[in-house]
Amino acid sequence: MIDRTIMSSTAAGYAIDLQNVTKIYHRRIHALQGVSMQVNRGEIFGLLGPNGAGKSTLVKIMVTVVRPTTARGMILGHSIGHKGTLARVGYLPENHRFPRYLTGRQVIEFFSALAKTDRSTRKKRAAELLDLVGMTAWADSKISQYSKGMLQRVGLAQALGANPDLIILDEPTDGVDPSGRRDIRQVLLHLREQGATVFINSHLLSELETVCDRVAILVGGKVARQGSVDELTAAKQCYQFELEPTPWPVIVAAFPGAFDFGAPPEPGFPTRGKLDENCWCEFDGLTLRVGHTDAAAVQPIIDALRRNNLVIRRMQLVRPSLEDLFFEAMTDPTTGQRALPGARPPPLPGAR
Ligand code: ADP
Ligand code: MG
């Protein structure tokens, strides 16, 4: 439906190439602390991170809603802030508020008009976009009558009004039910087929895992991981032992020196350690994981478990999910502490 004929002279290279972006709000809130990020043309890129990680700040800098403290970067081959380029970028802000007296169709037409699309094109395109996001039946109802999911669908359609080459979506599935989320995923895949680049912010991991070609994990204003879901998860393959419920001291005794900062793990938040120089391990009460991918290398671990009368229910080579990577990125490897939500807290009065 969207006729993608605009292929610019800058078709080569990255859609987004950010170098060392920092943002300090009010001289004390370090929301972004040197973010570098590359997004290929024609891919769906997911930026994930906990609340307050700086995701929205980063996209607001890209679309020039927020002024960075420092930033070097290119969007579609031009410096951030280049007006002509912004016209080729569609944006769905988080917590958007469209005037409630407009209908869905009027919202889409209004934003297309702002992008200087001519009247007949924007009418035609609004009808196509309403169909694409499954809102044709509600097109002429006031958005004050819409549910959150319907608002997000219209918000997505609005971002596509000017047939953009780059679509930036901040939490597009916020408040959307599972079937709506699936519909939105289909739209994103369709956009990629059309050759557009899609950048999505989300804290919903499963969301990104299924559609994104590449992801970055942002924690406390810094990029903790960046790469394809396959690359990131393959690097973290491990052997997993499912045990009968095992008291923490027994595990500590079975692997002396491995878990040396050892508070007992909280369920769902494993305690990490090192079996030796080259091999990480973690334990969460039922499951022991060790960073080996070679069956021969894990035989001594089986011996140690058996020597300590631990019962192994199952053993397998596993590839972690994006959620596992996310929690790993949020956990300080030396202390085992999880990052707190939000930017680095301001220093205490009198502290330097
Ligand atoms: P995310 O979208 O990942 O949840 P944000 O970019 O909204 O994160 O916020 C990052 C950090 O910056 C948070 O600690 C937030 O409180 C702070 N922050 C965001 N916007 C402002 C603002 N306008 N003024 C002051 N602090 C802000
Ligand atoms: Mg946000």
Q: Whose CA is nearest to atom 23 of ligand 1?
A: 25
| pTM metric for this prediction | 0.81
Nearest CA owner, ligand 1 atom 20:
57
Asked whether the beta carbons of 48 and 326 are under 8 A apart, the reply is yes
- Which residues of the chain carry a pLDDT beneath 50? 1-11, 352
Whole-number Å distance, alpha carbon 269 to ligand 2 midpoint, is 24
Kind of pairing, strands 166-170 and 197-202? parallel
Cβ atoms of 187 and 132 closer than 8 Å: yes
* Tokens at 334, concatenated: 């030396």
Domains with residue ranges and CATH for the chain = 238-318 (3.30.310)
Confidence at residue 247, expressed as pLDDT on a 0 to 100 scale: 84
Closest listed residue to residue 171, CA positions, set 51, 306, 340 = 51
336 lines ligand 1 (CB under 6 A): no
φ/ψ (deg, to 5) at 159: -65, -20
Q: Give the chain's length.
A: 352
Does 261 contact ligand 1 (Cβ within 6 A)? no
How large is the angle between the packed helices 148-159 and 104-114, nearest 10 degrees? Answer: 30
Interacting residues of 99 by C-beta distance below 8 A, sequence separation 6+:
107, 143
Place of tokens 């694409």: 132
352 is written with which tokens? Answer: 């330097």
Q: Is the CB of 320 under 6 A from ligand 1?
A: no
What are the residues whose beta carbon lies below 5 Å from ligand 2 (ion)? Answer: 55-56, 94
Written as six digits, the tokens of 72 are 């070097």
- φ/ψ region of 231 (left if φ > 0, alpha if ψ in -120 to 50, else beta) reads alpha
CA-closest candidate to residue 181, choices 189, 172, 190: 172
Measured CA to CA, the distance from residue 117 to residue 121 in angstroms comes to 7
Average pLDDT, the chain: 88
Residues 6+ apart with CB under 8 A from 277: none
Q: How far apart are CA 275 and CA 210, in angstroms?
A: 33
- Neighbour-count burial of 230, counting CB atoms closer than 10 A to its CB (0-12 exposed, 13-18 middle, 19+ buried): exposed
Decide the pairing of beta strands 29-40 and 14-25.
antiparallel
Pocket probe for ligand 1: among 57, 94, 170, the residue whose CB has the most ligand atoms within 8 Å is 57
Ligand 1 neighbour 24 (Cβ under 6 A): no
pLDDT tens per residue, range 125-184: 999 999 999 999 999 999 999 999 999 999 999 999 989 999 999 999 888 888 888 999
